[in-house]
Amino acid sequence: MEIGIALRNIIIDDADITALVSTRVYPSTLPQDPTLPALTVGEISFPMEPLIDLAYPRYQLTVWADSDASRDAVGRAILYCLQRWKGTQDGIRIEQITFLNKMKLKDPETGRLTMPMDFQVNYREE
């Protein structure tokens, strides 16, 4: 199993997040004419420590919404779900997920409100 898929599964298994976005969690880009709010999940970087089989990739989860309230609610749910998450997901032992940063933006092309949120995912390569 790939760590990006495991991360997505952690998100869609969370009741608070799915209450807000259902299963609208997409890899990297939104589909054309999406229902909002929605999330995209993309890998930013993938550093590893090969001698100890530890990887600590950085992922960006971007909230897409049509109102500040919706964007903020989804962002809070993601933060509560992922910050310091530890455990096994899809056979991958995740040592810890750490929140790094977020920004509130407006997409210049579509006018949609966005909130990119960066997380580091420390896990053991099996």
94: nearest Cα among 41, 62, 55, 61: 55
What average pLDDT does this structure show over 32-60? 86
Domain boundaries, the chain: 3-124
Q: What residue spans of the chain are helical by DSSP H?
A: 3-12, 15-21, 68-82
For domain 3-124, the question of CATH label 3.30.2000.10 is answered with yes
Tokens of 2: 């790939």
Tokens of 68: 């500040």
pLDDT digits (tens, 9 = 90+) for 60-113: 999 999 999 999 999 999 999 999 999 999 999 999 999 999 999 998 888 899
* Per-residue pLDDT reduced to its tens digit, 38-49: 999 999 987 766
